[in-house]
Each structure stands twice: as structure tokens, then as C-alpha cells.
């Protein structure tokens, strides 16, 4: 008969593991449902509202152009007959109809059928009045046509502009409500996360106390769990890279295309505005803002996951990345390559790139140094990457760099390499990553 001190801890550990797994599954389902609802809210309400607002702004711009044209038509000193404005009105009408068709597709979920019907009828009535005005002008009745503009068209145009402004305000209110709901979801997830972490910490404490009283079999099981932890770390890192790659492509493709389309629309709208008009300058300014935003999104996309890493390999990516870091951070980086260059691609290149990225982030955030040295060396049997700075040194910032250092060590292990943190004689910190060359070949395909 076994005494309590000799009893195997397997049953208790398995029970604790089952509880932990159940908690992880339950919490994962909760997080998944919350994120699914958040994604649905953002795609169905926020994104549709923004696209709808863009079309409403386009409609508002066409109405403003029409108002300016009517003002010029009422000018007695204008040398052109009223019928000469027909072509311009036709262009505005075509663009306005196209914008309204798109707007109807993106109309907000809280838009009532009465509002949509009112907008459509108001536009139809306005163009009917325009047709009657040009008919009078075509019969030589310019005075009556101008009276039609003063008494009917300007009032209908003002009513249309007011209706569009109300819809824009309604969209803004809808976005504010959606933002409030998103904040509530985030707050709920955060509270649940605190509870989950507390429960997990309690489970860890209980399991640790129980394990202290166990026999040597616990250590054998810990070795197995350590292998599982490595597998999990590999999967988590792979998931992280996949997520960053997906976000990078979404930013570049989806948002890039939208901003490009906006710039094109603004350019065409600006070409329809008379030369010297304040509106033309405003449209150009908005177009420049859209282009600047597009450039920022492309830079962010490259920072998340450089496409160059997949297309040209590690060395070409570092040739691009290091000058980019210099421009963005103000650091002075001395980059040296030596040895016979071997192509480093695939996951091996990604891990080396991420180690360099984390090391340079630590230099920028914690070392206090304004310059660093990056050395990439191709040795006969291995690849070596060094990042050196002459800042505060690792001892002064050890508590702040723990998580980043763990991530770098995990990546080094995944490619069969080693990571060293050294203190040069001149002070500061030296990060050295070394990986066997056969791992370059096996991970580079």
C-alpha cells in the first residue's frame, strides 16, 4: 500500500489539466464570440457608414457645384446664354446619379425608407425643375428661366443640401454609437481577462504546491510539458506571423484601394470645378491628405510584414529595413555584411529579421544610445547576426527587456540556433544570434 507521500501525482495533475483546458476552451469561445461580434459590427455598421458618408460627401460636392453654376447663371454680366450651361448640368447630373446609386447600396442600417424615398424624390423634382428652366431658356424666355432659378431651383437645392447634411450627421451619430458598443465589448473582454488570469494564477499556485510534494515522476512529466511548450511557442509564433502577414495584405490591398479610389474621385471632382474656385483648392487639399494617408498605410504594411522578405530574401530586406529604421527613429546604424552571401528565405529569414527588429527596438526604447552597429556574417558553417550599442547596458534595463529577450530566444531555438546577450568592453549591450547553415537551407525553401 502506498503512503500519501508515495502516491503518484498523475491523477491530480490530469484533473488540474482538465480544469485548465476547460477554462481555456470556455474563455476561447467567449473571446471568439466577442471578436466575431466586434468584426461584424465594424464591417456591417462602421465600414458601411464610412462608405456611405463618402458618397454623401460626393453628392454634397455635386450640389455645391450646381449652386455655384446657378449663381453664375443669375449674374446679369455673364456673356453666355443660359442654354450654354446645359452640358455642365448634364455632367453634374450623371455624377450625382452615380453617387446616389452607390449611396443607396451603402445606406446605413438605421436609415428609414421614408428618408431614402424623400432623398430620391427631392433629387427627381430638382432635375424636373432644371429641365423646365432650360426649356424656358431654349424658347428665349431667359427672364422667366432666371425667375425659375431664384424661386424654385435654389430653394430645392437648399432643401437637398440640408437633407444630405442630416444624413451625414446621422451617419456620424451611428459611428459614435458603434464606437461606444465596441468600447463596451473591449471593457467586457478586459474584465473577463483579469478574472481568467486570476483563476489561471490560482490554478498555477495550487498545481505548484501539489507538485512540490510529488516524487521524481513529476520532473519527467515536466520535461514532456517543456517539449509541449516549445511546440506551442512555435505554433504561436507561426500564428503571429500569419496574422501580421494577413493584416499587412489587408492594409495594402483593401484600404490602399479605397484611398486610391478616393484620390481619383477627388481629382475628377476637382477638374469639374472652375479654375480659381476655393472649392478646387479644398478638393486638392483633401486629395493630398488621402495620398499622405495611403503612404502611411503602405509604410505600416511594410513594417508589419515586408513583402520583400518573401520576394528577395533576408539580405535584400535588411538593405531596405536598416535605412528605413534610421529615417524613422533617428538612430545612426552602421551596417556591415561579410562572408560569402547565401540566400536566406522562408521562415529562417523571418526569424532572423524579427530578432533584428526586436534588438533595434530595444536600442531605441531602452539603451539611450543614438547609434548602433549591425553585423551580418556568413561563416562556413553558420550565419551570425550581431546588434551592438554603447548605451546603458543590459543590467540597467534587464527588467524591461525580459519579454522581448524571451521571444528572441524562442525564435533562435526554432531555427536551431543560439542567442547570446553580452556586455562589450566599451559598455552597452551586444546581442548575438548564431544559427547553423543547414538550418538556412532547410528553412529557406
Question: 242-265 pLDDT, tens per residue?
Answer: 786 677 677 666 766 777 778 777
Do residues 377 and 338 touch, judged by C-beta distance below 8 A?
Answer: yes
pLDDT score, position 444:
42
Q: What is the DSSP letter of 415?
A: T
- List the 332-339 sheet strands across, edge first: 332-339, 371-378, 382-389, 429-436, 418-422
Decide if pLDDT at 52 tops 90.
Answer: no
Q: What is the pTM of this model?
A: 0.44
Question: Over pLDDT 70: what percentage of the chain?
Answer: 79
Query: Inter-axis angle of helices 217-250 and 10-41, to 10 degrees?
Result: 10
Do residues 374 and 335 touch, judged by C-beta distance below 8 A?
Answer: yes
Q: Ranked by mean pLDDT, which of 163-172, 286-295, 298-307 comes out on top?
A: 163-172
Per-residue pLDDT reduced to its tens digit, 389-427: 988 876 544 544 556 788 888 888 888 889 999 888 888
Range in 103-112, 113-122, 319-328 the model is least confident about: 103-112
Please give the CATH architecture assigned to the domain spanning 4-215: Up-down Bundle (1.20)
pLDDT score, position 101:
84
**Higher-pLDDT residue of 192, 305:** 192
Mean pLDDT across the chain, nearest whole number? 79
**Higher-pLDDT residue of 88, 405:** 88
**Higher-pLDDT residue of 190, 35:** 190
Range in 90-94, 168-172, 208-212, 400-404 the model is least confident about: 400-404
The domain 308-443 having CATH identifier 3.30.460.10: the answer here is: no
Q: Nearest CA to 352 among 326, 321, 393?
A: 321
The three-class DSSP label of residue 403 is helix
pLDDT average, residue stretch 305-320: 79
Question: Over pLDDT 90: what percentage of the chain?
Answer: 8
pLDDT score, position 442:
46
**Higher-pLDDT residue of 193, 97:** 97
Instruction: Give 288's pLDDT tier (boundaries 50, 70, 90).
Output: confident
Range in 108-112, 122-126, 428-432 the model is least confident about: 108-112
| Torsions phi, psi for 337 (to 5 deg) | -120, 140
pLDDT score, position 231:
73
Q: Ranked by mean pLDDT, which of 218-222, 281-285, 353-357 comes out on top?
A: 353-357
pLDDT score, position 301:
67
Give how far the C-alpha of residue 279 lies from the chain's centroid of Cα atoms, to the nearest Å: 31
Distance (Å, whole) CA 74 – CA 70: 6
pLDDT score, position 384:
92
List of residues 6+ apart from 109 with CB closer than 8 A:
44, 45, 48, 174
Which secondary-structure segment (H or E) carries 336? strand 332-339
pLDDT score, position 334:
93
pLDDT score, position 2:
43
Angle value at C-alpha 87, between 84 and 93, nearest 5 degrees:
135
Amino acid at each position: 500500500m502506498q503512503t500519501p507521500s508515495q502516491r503518484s501525482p498523475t491523477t491530480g495533475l490530469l484533473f488540474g489539466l482538465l480544469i485548465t483546458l476547460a477554462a481555456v476552451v470556455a474563455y476561447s469561445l467567449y473571446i471568439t464570440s466577442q471578436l466575431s461580434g466586434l468584426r461584424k459590427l465594424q464591417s456591417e455598421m462602421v465600414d458601411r457608414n464610412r462608405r456611405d458618408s463618402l458618397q454623401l460627401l460626393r453628392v454634397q460636392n455635386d450640389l455645391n457645384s450646381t449652386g455655384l453654376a446657378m449663381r453664375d447663371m443669375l449674374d446679369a454680366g455673364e456673356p453666355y446664354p443660359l442654354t450654354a450651361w446645359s452640358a455642365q448640368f448634364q455632367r453634374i447630373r450623371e455624377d450625382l446619379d452615380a453617387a446616389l446609386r452607390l449611396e443607396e447600396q451603402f445606406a446605413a442600417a438605421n436609415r428609414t425608407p421614408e428618408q431614402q424615398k424623400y432623398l430620391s424624390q427631392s433629387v427627381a423634382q430638382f432635375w424636373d425643375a432644371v429641365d423646365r428652366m432650360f426649356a424656358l431658356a431654349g424658347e428665349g424666355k431667359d427672364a422667366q428661366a432666371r425667375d425659375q432659378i431664384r424661386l424654385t431651383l435654389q430653394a430645392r437645392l437648399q432643401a437637398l443640401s440640408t437633407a444630405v447634411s442630416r444624413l451625414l450627421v446621422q451617419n456620424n451619430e451611428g459611428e459614435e454609437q458603434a464606437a461606444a458598443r465596441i468600447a463596451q465589448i473591449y471593457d467586457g473582454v478586459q474584465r473577463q481577462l483579469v478574472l481568467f488570469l486570476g483563476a489561471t494564477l490560482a490554478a498555477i499556485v495550487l498545481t505548484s504546491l501539489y507538485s512540490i510534494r510529488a516524487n521524481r515522476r513529476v520532473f519527467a512529466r515536466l520535461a514532456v510539458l517543456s517539449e509541449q511548450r516549445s511546440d506551442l511557442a512555435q505554433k504561436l509564433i507561426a500564428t503571429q506571423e500569419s496574422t501580421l502577414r494577413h493584416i499587412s495584405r489587408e492594409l495594402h490591398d483593401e484600404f490602399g484601394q479605397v484611398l486610391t479610389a478616393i484620390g481619383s474621385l477627388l481629382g475628377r471632382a476637382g477638374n469639374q470645378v472652375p479654375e480659381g474656385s476655393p472649392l478646387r483648392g479644398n478638393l486638392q487639399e483633401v486629395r493630398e491628405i488621402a495620398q499622405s494617408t495611403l503612404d502611411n498605410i503602405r509604410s505600416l504594411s511594410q513594417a508589419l510584414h515586408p513583402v520583400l522578405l518573401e520576394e528577395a530574401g533576408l539580405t535584400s530586406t535588411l538593405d531596405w529595413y536598416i535605412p528605413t529604421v534610421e529615417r524613422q527613429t533617428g538612430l545612426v546604424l552602421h551596417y556591415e555584411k561579410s562572408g560569402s552571401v547565401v540566400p536566406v528565405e522562408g521562415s529562417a529569414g523571418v526569424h532572423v529579421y524579427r530578432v533584428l527588429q526586436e534588438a533595434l527596438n530595444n536600442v531605441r526604447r531602452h539603451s539611450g544610445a543614438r547609434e548602433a552597429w549591425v553585423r551580418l556574417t556568413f561563416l562556413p558553417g553558420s550565419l551570425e547576426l550581431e546588434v551592438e550599442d554603447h548605451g546603458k547596458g543590459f543590467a540597467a534595463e534587464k527588467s524591461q527587456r525580459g519579454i522581448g529577450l524571451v521571444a528572441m530566444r524562442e525564435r533562435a531555438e526554432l531555427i536551431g540556433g543560439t542567442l547570446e546577450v553580452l556586455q562589450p568592453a566599451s559598455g552597452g549591450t551586444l546581442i548575438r544570434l548564431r544559427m547553423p547553415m543547414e538550418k538556412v537551407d532547410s528553412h529557406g525553401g
